[in-house]
A and B are shown apart, each in its own frame.
Chain A
Amino acid sequence: MSSRFIGERLARVDAPDRVTGRAVYAADISLSGMLHGRVLRSPHAHAYIKKIDATRALALEGVKAVVTAADFPALKKGGVIARGEVELNLDHIRQVALAHGKVLYHGHAVAAVAATDPHIAEDALELIEVEYEPLLAVLDPEEAMKEDAPLVHPEQRTRTRDGTLDRPSNIAATYNVSRGDVEEGFQVADVVVEHTFRTRTVHQGYLEPMAAVARADPGGRITVWASTQGNFSLRSQLASVLELNSSQVKVVPVEIGGGFGGKLNSVLELPAVLLARRTGRPVKLVMSREEVLRATYPAPATAITVKAGATADGRLTAVKMRAVFDAGAFPIAPVVAAYLTSLAPYKIPHICLEGYEVVTNHPKIGALRAPGAPQGAFAVEGQMDLLAEKLDIDSLELRRRNATQEGEPMPVGRAFNRIGLQPLLERVAAHPSWTTPLKGPHRGRGLAVAFWPGAVMPSSCNLTLQDDGSFSLVVGSVDLTGTRTTMLQVAAQELGVHPSKISVSVGDTDSVGHTEVSGGSRITYTMSNAVNQACTRMLGLLRERAAAELEVDPQELEYDTGIFSSRVSQDKRLTLTDLGRQSLRRGGPVTATGAVARMQPAPAFSAHVVDVEVDMETGQVKLLNYTAFQDVGRAVNPTQVEGQIQGGAVQGIGWALMEGYQFSESGVLQNANLLDYKTPTATDVPFIDTVILEIPASDGPYGIRGVGETPIIPPLPALANAIHNATGVRIRELPMNPEALFHAMQGRGG
């Protein structure tokens, strides 16, 4: 079948509702008798909770309930939900929802109150009396690693490659991964560089603050409307913690206003459910922006030391990475991902990682678009530029000489399947963004390369032929980025009908098979496989129906654009409308499911080129030109692909130049608002030009690769490299804001 809808720039099906304000988000849900909740948060970064007395709050008119961690079912230790690449630790989910005996960061939830209106709930917070016994806060990961450091979790033991150590420590885990022998590699190197790169905690910056509405039926069934990236994952989290069957929890889809990895884990839903159970009434909880910044799941601060060696002719011989990740209050940080992704672009004989995942009294970290990769690339791509400078080799040429290809081993795991890095770099080399000379004072150009492996997780969909011959496609995935539209294109392509004959919606957790989170750049890649499967099954079923109706052999029928017709006798034909009508009389309605669990990964590479101009007196960086190259396998909807690449680049630009948590010495976030936690606006970035390469992935339909995460990675090192090119100063600490750059230029740092 010709490619009619794959590659078309279809307008997003959700766009009219979103831009006119009709789209319904979790905070828009209003139910009869609904109560409004607020969360009481810790004023300390680290303290024992000695006592919580809600008597006065409960006496306030309009207050219906106050809940604390004591309202959870008794905890069974060690509960973990395994989700392919991600493990969800139930204990941590519960403790983030409501602190258990100890507060672990400033803003940690301590209690939640439900009242007849949000202002009463707010007033009630002041009447909940909590007695704390403050403890020394553990804030600096390097300090936290020392043997005599105060402990965030006195019972925590370090997980290592060789088992668990028997001494308590803030180091949750160490990672020792290697290939070859780096010392040998450094011996044969002509140039060796070694520096430490530091990044701060940053937030995903999704526009829609977290929100949840919960209803608890007397029979024990729970219904939740939530701002989440995964309805099924949320269901699993709630069912596990509350000790219910999965089928007793229903998560109803609502639109989501951005997630970027920050809405994978439950935060507000558990307190909302506890309050709903206690009161017998629906309860809504909505975070303020301040709460979002203080008490959700930001991305980790890191200190990454990269020692890299190369021969005089520009062949990398060895890279050693030492990485310390500030995981915040609970373990799990993307340490290995930083190593894997940042070294993946290059053929390096000897590599090793010494990684540390350290808990501190900061909010628990979560995923942010390509978790770990931007921090790793900031270090490795910075060192690549320095090597190029020391070897007097063009920075693109150095990357071309070392670029990896199909069949080469990845830093961790198996060999690469089909990838497009080398053609991508050839494209950069020939492109005006790289070849046009940069004129003018204090201007510089920077380049960086990035990799993201892409995730594969279960996906399900249901396809139904309606009575009039139109189709309804229900997918299980939350639509973060326009995936309803791309799945519409896939279904139209496979069913051979116009997109106007198909409606696509996100199903609730009762109505479609388990579908994992929208994350890992994987929905278009994996769900298109499920939709493809459902369409094939649907056409198979319809062929049988048509054959029975027409009393011909199914093989005699051919199908084209909605019509089954006999190759033998021309008058024997049936349209989808005929089949839809007849299905109600004979055979019954026709439905088909698609379900996918495993596929090969579809790795994606990108390269960004940026030109900057630096105000030497103030340190302000102005972006002049920005071009993002990416191998996307196949662009199902080029407009959406471009949007993803542009959005990722802007997010990375913000991380590079502006964003960063500023904690006080007692662990209190000082910039918990969007004025002082700065993200770029449209006026801070130039038009992000995109260059799309389509080198088909090894697996899956159409050659699709994941797109969404890779583009956030290169801006950090590309901008650092451009600033160095403009000023001669290498910045190895983010954000590279005007004051930081000014001080660095004063000291001629680097």
Chain B
Amino acid sequence: MEWWGQAISMAASIALAPLLVGLSQTTKARIQGRMGPSVFQAYRILWKTWHKETTVPQDSSWIFRLAPSVNVATMLVIVTMLPWTGKLPSSWPHNALVLFFLLAVERFWSALAGMDSAGAFGGLGASRVSTVGSGIEPALLAAFGVLWAVSGHTAIAPLAPWLRHQALGILPWILAASSYVLVLLAETGRLPVDNPDTHLELTMMHEATVLEYNGRFLAEQQMAGALKFTALIGLGWIYLGPVMSSVWANLFMRVGELAVTSMALGWAESRFVKLRYFQLPTYFAMATGVGLLAFYLVASGSVS
């Protein structure tokens, strides 16, 4: 049962990942008063780029060629690790710390590929992505601080039953959730940290590292981005959301949550302006601080 549930949810999250990106883009277009593309546009773009000619810039090495594969494989492993249905086969790896370090692998290779493209944009993107990454890492740990404080596990799955049995308290929950949302926006390259739609050298971050990519490699990068989006939204719901007892109910609930959240993110993105790059440390300090505060409330027993 668990194996089936996990296999189906893995397949579903991979298949639905571009749809979520499409959903957020369409929502964003509608909010801005445009018709926008169909929600299935992301699939068409993937198909199109995959079948285009693939070239690499002069002076680049195997790092540039391998980086998209590393990124997509890392994201696939993360999607595989998440306990989508609330129940996992025993002996299944589902450790939150491993997940964070896998995100770092993706960041490392994106930045390396940016440096390898030997242009100004690649280096610019690499620098920005790494700088933002160094803010994300502690904020992510802080957002999960409540988890360690109460469950004592770094595994993701045992958390869900815990949430059912023992109330976290509404205030720490809100704080942890806000901290996580701030991190989610940063890590998936959304406004107010990064703008996924921009190609202006002043503002682009992740886009600059993939600027020199085309064809199959670009398709892989886009797929990796979509998977990351899916995985991080999913992780948030698994971490802080409700859990049903049945595997199937959980599965359907996750799909609904993912769809709603990606639309909500599309809406939120139209409401923010991008932060100045040098204000980002404050942003991450806030995310970290909020997570620490939630931890402090739970650890000190101020809120039961």
A and B are interacting partners? no
Residues of A within 8 A of B (CB): none
Residues of B within 8 A of A (CB): none
